[in-house]
Amino acid sequence: MNNILHHGYLDNEMKLLAGNSNPLLANEIAQHLGVPLGNIFVGTFSDGEVRVNITENIRGKDCFVIQSTCSPVNQNLMEMLVMIDAVKRASASRITAVIPYYGYARQDRKDRPRVPITAKLVANLITAAGANRILTMDLHADQIQGFFDIPVDHLYAAPVLIEYLKNNIDPESVAVAPDAGSVERARGMARRLGGLPLAIVDKRRPEPNVAEIHHVIGDVIDKHAIIVDDLVDTAGTLCLVAKAIKDAGAKSVRAVVTHSILSGAARDRIDNSPIDELIVTNTIPFVGEFKSKKLTQLSVAPLIAEAIRRIHSMESISSLFIE
């Protein structure tokens, strides 16, 4: 790759360093870039403390640390922080934290007394560890970008999801926002799928992982509904939304979700729900033997790889999403 002089450093070589959170995605990103993963050991001491050892020279290199902060969240977060510190102390020229899934993002505001804003705390930790910039995908709330005092490149999985849907969509479809916070995301998906109508589910959340569905706003009768959301955790809320839509007269229900946390009884809930297909990406690996005939997984590796290439060569990221 061409040498690029920028702000006093020479980033003449890209280095990809991956933690243990999502090795399949990291390898796929490396394959798309034609760059091997760097030599790094990420393990633990006997008491569980994270141990990192970079076994090659990265002095002056443009380093990308790839790590989703998914389950086990605290372990993967700590791995990323220690990796960034190790890369910084190895005299890398620039460190980009590539975080396909940004954990703790649901705690992004003080919505009741005496609770933390953990999304901001994690942003502070990543910055303090030594990251120079962040590359992430489909944050739970766009304003989390402002929690960082370093540049944030925010990717959207929409192009990958839309490409799949365009080849698998019925003309009588409707995009559905599962709550008020998802309206902009669902509206954007509806527009890019040819101007689909939009419906909104009136959902209240009295406590975490608990939802109350009141009614569906919009026409879903005899329509093929497509629920659009950023993540699915226990799938309890998603299944309730799907049932409400089906009860309101929809012919079928599909869901497109970027981050598939799929914890607890998620598999059984999905299999026993009115959801005909759950379309997710591989920002988070499937845990254990998670399998469901309703599940379709799409890869965001080409999109992340192209973003990394553009960051390295100082090209525009936003142009990836301009129609």
Whose tokens are 């009588």? That residue is 172
List the structure tokens of 154: 């925010």
Which positions are annotated as active-site residues?
203
269 and 241 Cβ atoms separated by less than 8 Å: no
One-character DSSP codes across 163-207 = HHHHTS--SSEEEEESSGGGHHHHHHHHHHTTS--EEEEEEEEEE
Residue 203 has phi, psi (to 5 degrees) of -120, 140
Whose tokens are 């040498």? That residue is 3
118 and 107 Cβ atoms separated by less than 8 Å: yes
Q: Residue 236, CB half-sphere, CA atoms under 13 Å: how many? A: 11
Alpha carbon distance 177, 179 (integer Å): 5
Alpha carbon distance 205, 189 (integer Å): 24
Alpha carbon distance 234, 91 (integer Å): 42
Q: Are strands 210-217 and 94-99 parallel, antiparallel or unpaired?
A: unpaired
Alpha carbon distance 275, 232 (integer Å): 13
Residue 4 has phi, psi (to 5 degrees) of -130, 115
CA 313 vs CA 1, 11, 12, 316: distances in Å: 9, 9, 10, 9
Give how far the C-alpha of residue 15 lies from the chain's centroid of Cα atoms, to the nearest Å.
22
223 DSSP assignment = -
Residues 6+ apart with CB under 8 A from 105: 119, 139, 140, 141, 144
